[in-house]
Structure 1
Amino acid sequence: MRTLYQRTNTFDNTRRSILKYASGTVVAAALPSFAFAQSYPEKPSKILLGYSAGGTADTMLRLVAQQLTIEFGQPFVVENKPGASGNIAATQVARSPADGYSLLLGNTAEMAVNSSFMKHTGFDVEKDFAPVALVYDVPLALVVSAASPFKTLDDLIAAAKKPNSNITFASAGQGSPGHLAGEELARSMNASTSITHVPYKGAAPALVDVIAGHVTYYFSGVTAITQFVKSGQVRVLALSSQKRSRFMKDVPTIAELTGADFSFTLWGGVFAPAKTDRLIIEALNKKIGTAMAQPNIKAAMEREGSDANPMSPDEFSAFVKSESERYRLLVENLGIKPE
């Protein structure tokens, strides 16, 4: 008969063997994933954008993609898939394999606003995406026609407080950051009568009617109004960002002028499908950071009025979450029902 010591020793030896085997199995299973991540990319990657070619997002993305192609030695191809306020492209990437070869240039609308403004987007930003890196961050400019009597934000607020003020504001579309910025400004002005929102199908027609004086004010991306400011057709009253833009240092912010917590910008960054290997996420973040430091891309950022600062994947993830929550509360406070 075996002693208690012998039985215990046999059990311990068996237990160690099982643990050793299990540990080896886990390591062996992890090796292919590690090797794959280390060799990434081995073929062309595509970056989808949910908007048409020619805008700020498209311009910045193509420059970054060109530099990523140089940095990685494999093509990074931009594909424009406009529609549904960016949701079509986002949905496609959310459903793609998490291998780093299908990426998204996600923007404010689809990554922070749409989930609060729409009942069905086709994806869940937090569950379906891994934030990689911020690419650009452009403030909105509060503009009025140069022919309007409003020289300052105070002039506009004073007019809104008068009876029968008939103040209106334009936006590039329902649920756009410009629309919500316009609504928030309207609410903060405590107007004597209701301020009317006039949505347009895009930024260009909205700006045309502002210049013509058909609507009172409009929050536009700064790039879109640069030439009209220079030609004397529009007047910039303030910026929507929390801090002054380093490219428009003489223009005050609404937050600065009113003391309100007012912050609306048009930002965009690279996202990968959820569960993409962390090594791939970090490699992309590092190379995008290198790309953003290139002189030609820095010059393009200045032309576009972007104030983006480099962020780690974790910092960008926290930024996206905070933006989503801020817009959720804003939509709720404004009483806007999801459609």
Structure 2
Amino acid sequence: MTPSTPAAAEPATRPAPQRPRERAVSDYAELSRRIQEAGLLRRAHAYYWSRIAFYGVAFAGAWATLVLVGDSWWQLLVAVWVSLVVVQVTFLGHDAAHRQVFASHAWNEWSARIFAGGIAGLSYRWWTSKHNRHHSGPNQVGRDPDIESAVLAFTLESAAERHGLRAWFARRQGWAFFPLLLLEGVNLHAQGVIELVGKRGAQAPHRVVELALLVTRLAANLAVVVLVLPPGKAAAFLAVQLGLTGLLLGGSFAPNHKGMPVVPREMRVDFLRRQVLMSRNVRGGRLVDWAMGGLNYQVEHHLFPSMPRPHLRRAKPLVEAFCAERGVTYTETGLFESYGIVVRYLNAVGLRARDPFTCPLVSVYRG
């Protein structure tokens, strides 16, 4: 019998080729290993406690200033102050809802509920339900609520269903997007109340507590402004406060996915590519990090939702290098460039509503 040669034995010891799904799973597992070894999933207690204390004092200080200043047009600066604090507390609520702040699930949940309802005037229940669906299928038709709107058409499918005045508006909707964000503050407050008093919120855990927080916050906000200021100044104060809040929050979320590939209803994409290909980072320094609440690192946030916000900046070069290794497109633009993309994309959706739908991911995978 002739002994086996090394060449003959090699095929028996060679590992079997991985299937596409197995490769995708192993890709994300390898990236996760690198992130964990870098210590980027550890809690950042000092970061969060310092900000909770600072913005708590700033929020109380804003309302105390409103009462002390009294009848004056300088109160519009206080309205800006309140808006900036509310936006930053909303970001803290977002982080807590993603389990970034504390090790305890209960601490995160109640912190998010208090930040959202008691200070920002938003519903924790409504936000988490909507936001969790967004994270599970970003930019996917039928799954992502952020691309479903009665006012704006975010997909060709939605635009094609619009006729008459709605179709006329869709062809110009990009230019209306940012002015509409001035109404987003009112919309966010209203959606929270509607959720909690409606049938969908009837079974929500701690519904009564959350509704009490939300209604008390909104009623107290209105009462203090109306009691301190005459009608004209009170209306101006509320317009600045709510308009700026909506604009800042909308301006933080809009650049992250609008204009990125839209995934058809039935298409399946592995987790790593689903989160990276449909997300866009925004370049900038510490000011952009603060203004966008860390959401400018959208790719890293979607890949690791529980990663504390201050670690996202450090994770970025690791994720970007890994995507380059695996040939996964990693998108990053400047802030104003991203806004231009959003406007052009929304206008293009309206103008091309009658064109056949072609999935942008097809060209990505073929490439």
TM-score by length of 2: 0.30
* Structure with more of its chain in strand, by fraction: 1
* Structure with more of its chain in helix, by fraction: 2
Answer with 1 or 2: which has the greater Rg. Answer: 1
